[in-house]
Structure 1
Amino acid sequence: MSLSTAALLNSNGFFPPSLDRDQVRQRVWELETGKVGFYSVGLYPASLAYNCAMQQKDEDNLLLAPRPERELLGAFTQSAIEGMDPNHVAVMERMGSHQTEGGRQPNTLADLLKRCELVVLSANSNHVEDDLIEAIQLRDQLGRQHVVLACLAGSFSHDNIANESYVLCEKVPSLGFFSGFHRHGALRNPLDSFTANFCHPNALTALLGARMLDRLSPNIQVSAGVHNIEGQYIKAAKNMSSVFAGFGYAYHQDNPGVLPTLLTLLLDQCLDQAATVSMARRNRQRLYNRQPFALTELGYGVQRIEAALVRGGDMEKVRDHTFAQLTAMVADVRGSMMLPVSGTPTRNFQAGQVLAEHMRAENRCPQSMEELENWCEQAGLRKGGLEGLKSLRYWPQIVRKYAVPVHDASMVNLLYMAIYGNSTTKDVAFSVMTESRELSNYCQESVRPTHSRRYADALQNLEQPEAMDLLVNAVVADNARRLIRDDNGIEEPETADEPPAYLKAMNVIENAL
């Protein structure tokens, strides 16, 4: 993604810069009857379209356009297609085509830009940036600069030339993001309902875009938000965490005591990572201070939720949790880590189940990502749809780019080491992931910041003068209400005892990532 391309999308809103009230009023009415288009019809947009076909009276609200030389229903298995209602399939086919003198022709991206007011680029990270560049160029050529563009890619993007990984919405801050929890089979259930968020950094654009998406089906409730970057980061992070959740359910099904801790930590760390990424927003002050109305008008309970730490005697803001008020966004994380009472879990969750099955059978971690992907392919999971594994590939670059603290990413770090570590590291990761006691210890200890473990270590080593001095200083300082500086550390005591596997894993991760 070139900087010039990102700059071209600075004007990604529904309204021209006009002060003419009549012109604005006319535009509002146009949006009230405006259409939504999905370009690149994968499993999620196709399932959503089927849900709309089951429910809506006016099928013209939603248009589809498959990628060139792709079938509209190509993402579905043949058995899934056979289980669909032919009438609903016919509606979907009309959504994906238009009438010409020579008969019906498949819609293209240009057709969506001509006929829709909101176009969601639905491709995964392999294609979405190229699609965005093409959409911007076509939008200008067609004179449709006020068609809003959005994406729903759930993995990190990667620039092969610059060798850097990033969140696309952070690279292009005005790009909209659409996300919500779903299981593709459940979207074809006429009685089930779902929540979603449409996020755009301009509150008015977010509100209008969410209304357009909300009209598609009474089964899909869409609310507005301004946290597009956080939403996309969370989707990528939860896809990785969902792999670990699937592993935990499958491997530790006879050890249910560790699961609540594991799942809670996976959820919390997704949100904490996104809160750290939120602090890195280039438009953060504008996001809160230059909106047409307060965020509470969108459904946020409060205007901001920020977390701070004392550093060097000063209170420093380190996280922005405001986005966590978007219920659908949090539900997406939580739902992706649950084993459903009916139907199948998400594809990334299933990949974790496959990982557990083979680690138990082989008594080892996968030798490489390629081996894990082969295991998934053998189980009927297409590797192209496993966004969690794709995001994991770029994880070290993401951690460095957004300065994600190690203690906020310990679970994904462990999963990464199990797949990409050397043989010694894989052995340690295997012990931690497969032994319930090691895993629970790791969950408890790895969430502490490195400096916060000094006092716990000191209590275990009171015979060491440095350890006793550290605790004495803490008590004296507390009594005198003086601050303790972070440099009162202690040296690791020399011991002949072999450290437990969870400590080995923490040491490897803290030194490697």
Structure 2
Amino acid sequence: MDTALNSNGFFPRSLDGDLVRQRIRDLESGKVGFYSVGLYPASLAYNCAMQQEEPASLLLAARPGRELLGAFSQEALEGMDPDHVATVERMGSHLQNGQRCPNTLKDLLQRCELVVLSANSNHVEEDLQEACRLREELNREHVVLACLAGSFSHDHIANESYVLCEKVPNLGFFSGFHRHGALRNPHDSFTANFCHPSALTALLAARMLDRLSPNIQVSPGIHNVEGQYIKAAKNMSSVFAGFGYTYHHDNPGVLPTLLTLLLDQCLDQAATVSMARRNRQRLYNRQPFPLTELGYGVQRIEAALVRGGDMEKVRDHTFAQLTAMVADVRGSMMRPVSGNPTRNFQAGQVLAEHMRAEQRCPQSMDELESWCEDAGLRKGGLEGLKALRYWPQIARKYAIPVHDASMVNLLYMAIYGQSSTKDVAFSVMTESRELSNYCQESVRPTHSRRYADALQNLDQPEAMDLVVNAVIADNARRLIRDDSGLEESEANAEPPAYLKAMNVIENAL
């Protein structure tokens, strides 16, 4: 699959200026296709229909055996404008021998320059394989492929879980915050990101998506892996947020801490995953123009820890400059002023109601899913619960520190833990004081609690000595003459020649 997507870009490898110029003109009038139409693509199409009588730039295709608008409830369909519905249905069909025929994936690849595979993680990989096969068969290898799946993928044969965009690095990713009902509001506006490891491809694809509706602003980015990871992580966190809002609605003091921690841990986890990218150096060093041209404020934002006396980079937070991506996380953890929250948030609300009524955690994921089904939530649309199934494998694969995932770990324990573990999880999740203490203490790395523990045990000589030595070391540092001047001169020192040479070689090769 990697090989099939090595050329997932808009342009052939040509130095012919006229050919490139014509291709750019083609893209300016090119179409966008969404295959496997669920709630989000259908709602986006409806938004386009509200803003334009005949949107010429968007095409749809349902999965075989599925209805184009089948993801909507009957109540939602009854609330839609029939003319707009008819427009959406025309987006999903074409004339053949004077009759309307439903579009297929093959039709989208023939008529579009950008195709977004919209299936969830159950089907997106098989769709990608089929799209690659058809693209080659049709000689349309410069149609760019992207996905928007919001869960982790799983190889049942190898028993391995992963982020699809990390396995297929050149796959585009389209993401933004949305509530499906809100997308059908003609007066509301939304933001989204289209991410692709090629800045040029991201820029052009985002422009194509941005033209679909004046109410949807799409910005480019290069962080497809991080974007897809965040989507899965925030879906899990949204479940916990829904639980927190519902169970602790009488304890508003704990909510800001809980929600802030859920947001921060999503971003910190993605920053750790970012360091594992196989194409990380190429991502930053081989772009045709600086990332600031895409809207990033700075080229890189990296975090480091002192290990063995040396500073070691452990996180890459550059992606956090993509506003829509962060807004997606934040928005999915909020209860809206009007309308319904996200489906994963609603699953958390269901969890809270049953844990309060039953005074226990769910006995299994199957029981939790049955609770959700009884509440009118289809388990197939609850990507957060699916992502949680594969969480231990994901945490191991990407070496995510325990203190950066303490909230997801707690939720996982509540659903998948042993009986005694679930009892502990129940106490922590349902008692405000326990939860706030957990939020405060669980974010500390295990190797970074020595001084906090020492202050709790000053009656022990070893603990007192540790604090005393820290004070003496700090005082000694302050007594060193010209301490600040030394730091300033080191910061302004020009890098030696060998570092310059290494930088040139790394950037050129």
State the TM-score, normalizing by the size of structure 2.
0.93
* Deviation for aligned residue 1:236: 0.3
Partner of 1:503: none
Q: Trace 1:150-299 onto structure 2 (pairs within 5 A).
A: 150-299=146-295
AA in 2 matched with 1:106: P
Q: Which residue of 2 aligns with 1:89?
A: 85
SS at match of 1:243: helix
Q: Which residue of 2 aligns with 1:492?
A: none
Contact 1:252–1:436 (8 Å) recurs in 2:
yes
Residue 393 of structure 1: CA displacement? Answer: 0.3
Q: CA separation in 2, counterparts of 1:447 and 1:222?
A: 34
User: Is the Cα–Cα contact under 8 Å of residues 54 and 87 in structure 2 kept in the other structure?
Assistant: no
What displacement does 1:480 show? 4.2
Deviations 1:228-256 (A, max 9, x none): 00000000000000000000000000000
Q: Hey, what does 2:105 align to over in structure 1?
A: 109
Q: Which secondary structure state, in structure 2, belongs to the residue aligned with residue 17 of structure 1?
A: coil
Match of 1:310 among 306, 313, 327: 306
Q: Contact (CA 8 Å) 1:251, 1:357: kept in 2 or not?
A: yes
Q: Is the 8 A contact 1:258 1:436 kept in 2?
A: yes
Mapped partners of 1:378, 1:275: distance in 2: 37
Q: Which residue number corresponds to residue 48 of structure 1?
A: 44
2:438 to 439, 442, 450: 442
Residue in structure 2 matched with residue 80 of structure 1 by the alignment = 76
Amino acid paired to 2:129: I
Paired position in structure 2 for 1:459: 455
Query: Which amino acid is the alignment partner of residue 349 of structure 2?
Result: Q
Q: Distance in 1 between matches of 2:366 and 2:247?
A: 21
Offset of residue 178 of structure 1: 0.2
Residue in structure 1 matching 2:325, options 322, 329, 354:
329
| Alpha-carbon distance between aligned partners in 1 of 2:57 and 2:164, rounded to the nearest angstrom | 27
| Mapped partners of 2:270, 2:472: distance in 1 | 37
Query: C-alpha distance in 2, partners of 1:153/1:363?
Result: 34
Question: Deviation of residue 219 (structure 1)?
Answer: 0.4
Structure 2 partner of 1:319:
315
Map 1:110-129 → 2, pairs under 5 A: 110-129=106-125
**Residue matched to 2:483:** none
Partner SS state of residue 458, structure 1:
helix
* Cα separation, 2, equivalents of 1:392 and 1:479: 48
C-alpha contact 2:53 2:87 (8 A) present in aligned 1: no
The CA distance in 1 between the partners of 2:422 and 2:82, in whole Å, is 50
2:497 maps to what in 1? Answer: none
**Aligned ranges 1:50-69 → 2 under 5 Å:** 50-69=46-65
Deviates more, 1:467-476 or 1:163-172: 467-476
Partner-residue secondary structure (3-state), 1:60: coil
- Per-residue deviation at 1:58? 4.1
Q: Look up the equivalent residue of 1:371 and give its one-letter code.
A: E
The answer as to 2:376 corresponding to 1:380 is yes
The match for 2:498 is: none
- 1:16 pairs with 2:12: yes
Counterpart code for 1:43: L
Secondary structure, aligned partner of 1:302? coil
Distance 1:42 1:250 in 2: 28
1:435: Cα distance to partner?
Answer: 0.3
Deviation of 1:451 after TM superposition, in Å, equals: 1.2
Q: Which moved more, 1:269-278 or 1:460-469?
A: 460-469
RMSD: 1.0
Separation (CA, whole Å) in 2 of partners of 1:422 and 1:479:
50
Q: Is the 8 A contact 1:128 1:153 kept in 2?
A: yes
In the aligned structure 2, how far is the partner of 1:166 from the partner of 1:465? Answer: 48
Output the CA distance in 2 between the equivalents of 1:472 and 1:74: 68
1:342-421 to 2 correspondences below 5 Å: 342-421=338-417
Counterpart CA distance in 2 for 1:321 and 1:182 is 23
CA offsets 1:389-430 (integer angstroms, 9 cap, x no match): 000000000000001011110000000000000001000000
- Counterpart-to-counterpart distance in 1, 2:29 and 2:165: 27
Residues 408, 447 of structure 1: 8 Å contact kept: yes
Q: Name the SS for the 1:341 alignment partner.
A: coil
- The answer (yes or no) to whether the contact 1:279–1:320 under 8 Å persists in 2 is yes
What corresponds to 2:145 in structure 1?
A: 149
What's the offset of the Cα at 1:374? 0.3
Residue by residue, what CA displacement relative to the aligned partner does 1:354-373 show, whole Å, maximum 9, x if unpaired? 00000000000000000000
- Would you say the 8 A contact 1:150–1:177 is kept in 2? yes
Checking the alignment, whether the CA contact within 8 Å between 2:93 and 2:101 is kept in structure 1 is yes
In structure 1, what is the Cα distance between the partners aligned to 2:427 and 2:152? 29
**SS in structure 2 of the partner of residue 463 of structure 1:** coil
Question: How much does 1:452 deviate?
Answer: 1.3
User: Percent of aligned positions with the same letter in both sequences?
Assistant: 87
Contact 1:307 1:321 in 2 (8 A): yes
Following TM superposition, by how much is the alpha carbon of 1:57 offset from its aligned partner in structure 2, in angstroms? 4.3
Give unmatched runs, 5+ long, in structure 2: 479-509
Once residues 158 and 459 of structure 2 are traced to their aligned partners in structure 1, the CA distance between those partners, rounded to angstroms, is: 52
In structure 1, runs of 5+ residues without a counterpart are: 483-513
Cα displacement string for residues 14-54 of structure 1 (whole angstroms, at most 9, x for unaligned residues): 00000000000000000000000000000110111100111
Residue 145 (structure 2) pairs with residue 135 (structure 1): no
- SS of the residue corresponding to residue 214 of structure 2 reads coil
SS of the equivalent of 1:404 reads coil
Q: Does the 8 A contact of 1:56 with 1:216 survive in 2? A: no
User: TM-score, normalization: structure 1?
Assistant: 0.92
Q: CA deviation at 1:102?
A: 5.8
Residue identity opposite 1:431 in structure 2: S
Shift of 1:8: 1.4
Partner of 1:504: none
Partner Cα distance (2:229, 2:468) in 1: 43
Q: CA deviation at 1:481?
A: 4.6
Displacement of 1:468: 2.5
In the TM superposition, residue 453 of structure 1 has moved relative to its aligned partner by 1.3
For residues 273-324 of structure 1, the C-alpha deviation after alignment (integer angstroms, 9 at most, x for no partner) is 0001001111111111100100000000000011111111101111110000
Classify 1:319/1:118 alpha carbon distance in 2 versus 1 (closer, same or farther; 3 Å). same
Cross-structure match for 2:485: none
Q: Deviations over 1:92-136 (max 9, x none)?
A: 110001111161111000000000000000000000000000000
Q: Aligned partners of 1:58, 1:302: CA distance in 2, in Å?
A: 40
Q: Is contact 2:48–2:213 with CA below 8 Å preserved after alignment?
A: yes
Contact residue 113 and residue 139 of structure 1 kept, 8 A: yes
SS at structure 2 position matched to 1:59: coil
Say which SS state the counterpart of residue 361 (structure 1) adopts. Answer: helix
Letter in 2 for 1:153: A
